[in-house]
Amino acid sequence: MAANRRRPPTVEGPKPRKPRKGDKQGPADESDKKTELRKRGLILCIIALPVLVGFYATLLWWSNPHTDGRELRIDQYITLLRQGRIQSATILESDNRIAGRYDRGAYWVAVAAGRETIFSRLTSALEDAGVAYKVKQQPLKNLIVPASLILPALIVVDGLFILFLLFGRGGMGDAFAFGKSKARRLATGESKITFADVAGVDEAIEELAEVRDYLGSPDKFLAMGAAVPKGILLTGPPGCGKTLLARALAGESNVPFFSMSGSDFVEIFVGVGAARIRDFFQVAKEAAPCICFIDELDAVGRGRTAMAVGGQDEREATLNQLLVEMDGFESGSGVVVLAATNRPDILDTALLRPGRFDRRVGVERPDVRGREAILKIHSRGKPMAPDVDLTAVAKRTVGFTGADLANVVNEGALLAARRGSPQVEGRQLFEAIERVVAGPEKRSRILSPQDRHRIAYHEAGHAIASTSLPGADKVGKLSIVARGHAGGFTWLVPEGDQAAVTRSQLIDRIAAMLGGRASEEIVTGEASSGAQADLEHAGTLARRMVSDFGMSEKLGPYIVKPLSPGYQGEWGVGYSERISSMVDSEVQTILSEAYERCKSALTLNRALLDRVAQTLMEVEALEGDALDELMLAVQSLPDLVGAGPSSASSNSSQAGN
């Protein structure tokens, strides 16, 4: 007999608590609940549809009178009454019939509804014939008219419910829920882009990495009494990687990430934009800690005006709601708003104050090291030739954004595939740069000898003027093969990135732009329409010198700017007509000064101008050693020293490049 052994007590973990009615449900549970309710509603609607149709068909059948016997006309019936052949009669009130029996069996007579005269005549005939008759009431048939109106409406509504539940974005509730935000939630790990896939914006990555670290381990920040910024605004020119940084932050962070465009908040219906803002932030608060990304913030955050009408008033109501929501976050809520725009100058000042967007991160055009790093990222997975020098490509792409560099690498790969090359070579990348800047070559365009002669001197004028002027960029390639809308192509390569540009350098760059027109005038005695693009660029740069950089001798250190950026039509331009006239006069003075300096340089190198033009007409393109050998004979003009203010603001580097 086995001894009784006491079983050791089992250690059980805490039993899972059943969800209570007041418990807060997560987004997944709420989504599953909505899906289940939607399925149940769809099943009920599908079951109800044939029931309603069958009931309506039964009603239509029952509403028609069903009387046995032979149908008699009214005149036949009156004749039979006079002959005494009618035995009985019953008046059916709702069917508008008289039924009964006569010597040959059952009969019925149809009487038009609402004809009291006919009923009076027939009842009088029955009384005269001595036939007893009675009136049969039909109370249930009085419900036919309202039921015949209600049932078709119910059938149509049920059919619409089925369509919305089957094909609607979220059923009937979402079909009319204009106030629901269209935010897209990225699941953890859905974004495959990380900070390792972003280059050229190291400072911006450092700022965003701080947000990632705070959301991952907030204890060390809270221990110091520090709080993460509630809002981070990414600003910079288009194509520099603002949206890419947001996608990288989504890939780096292990928290929910909501993304939405600023234009998604804009709606023609009054109050819809504000409702979407409320819904967007309500969802974000429920999923905290999380990151909310609003792309193109200027679509909803444009500055407010004193006179707002129509759609402007609705947009301002949306902005006001955004201001309220961003200022309503509690400390440590874990909701971070990330926004991007390339128009920070038109944003409302209340949106940029501390407490809403505490930090502004500039994402500017990359420098030479940044461009090289970006080229390395975009060349991953592409068969690059061993002799490809990405450093040389980076030096030739001054002023390019990250999107431009991605396009260069892609164009190089397309050229290699088109020409059957197994690898992407350096010459294909350099040609891709030219395609991005000026467009593809048009070798099929046949030029007349006169046009060929004029274009050759035009491009040679650019090259001679740019080389002889100390402040201009150096020429990298000349071509008289048409590209894009231009008849020829002169590629000027800056020596490097510049933080500021002097007035003398800008004058020389304008002179280099006018070198083609000046060369045509010197050689042929008149200008042509081929210099239209050069004149536009030169005029734009000259106006910026006067209006933005304060490089005018008459106006002095005076910047001509509107009173309120983005609202010139309402508030005025901010300066008088006298100042406007002086600006135009100073622009013409700068253009005239640059044009005379360009003509002096071409006159000094007239013999070399002819030689370069003749060589171009023979070989169609000049670059590399052949071009450098010709340019060695250029005689340079002295530098313009003391011609104006010593330097411009940092923004002028973009204009010069």
If DSSP codes are grouped into helix, strand and coil, which group holds residue 294?
strand
Half-sphere exposure of 609 (CA within 13 A, CB side): 29
Rounded to 5°, the CA angle 163-169-173 comes to 80
Coil, strand or helix at 247: helix
Asked if 12 is an active-site residue, the reply is: no
What's the DSSP call for residue 248?
H
Please state whether the peptide bond connecting residue 289 to the residue before it is cis, i.e. omega within 30 degrees of 0: yes
Task: Give, in degrees to the nearest 5, the angle at Cα 489 between 485 and 495.
Answer: 130
Q: What are phi and psi of 368, to 5 degrees?
A: -65, -40
DSSP codes, 344-385: GGGB-HHHHSTTTS-EEEE-----HHHHHHHHHHHTTTS-B-
CB 228 within 8 A of CB 221: yes
Integer angstrom CA distances of residue 201 from 133, 475, 574: 103, 29, 36
Q: Mapping DSSP to helix (H, G, I), strand (E, B) and coil, where does residue 136 land?
A: strand
CB contact at 8 A, 460 and 609: yes
Q: 97-102 and 105-110 as β-strands: parallel, antiparallel, unpaired?
A: antiparallel
Number of Cβ atoms within 10 Å of the Cβ of 579: 15
- Side-chain half-sphere CA neighbours of 597 within 13 A: 29
Any residues with CB less than 8 A from the CB of 268 and at least 6 apart, and which? Answer: 311, 314
Three state DSSP letters for 613-630: HHHHHHHCEEEHHHHHHH
- Name every residue whose Cβ is closer than 8 Å to that of residue 359 and which is 6 or more positions away in sequence: 207, 229, 231, 232, 233
Q: Are 477 and 438 in contact (CB under 8 A)?
A: no
Q: Residue 357 and residue 53: Cα distance in Å, rounded?
A: 59
Sign of CA dihedral 19, 25, 29, 31: positive
- In sequence order, what are the beta bridge partners of 99? 90, 108
Classify 548 as helix, strand or coil: coil
Q: Which of 252, 325, 459, 520 is catalytic?
A: 459
For the record, the structure tokens of 305 come out as: 């005006």
Which SS3 state, helix, strand or coil, does residue 649 take? coil
Q: Given phi > 0 = left and psi -120 to 50 = alpha, else beta, which region is 472?
A: beta
> Do 347 and 302 form a contact (C-beta atoms < 8 A)?
yes
Residue 517 DSSP SS3? helix
Catalytic residues: 459
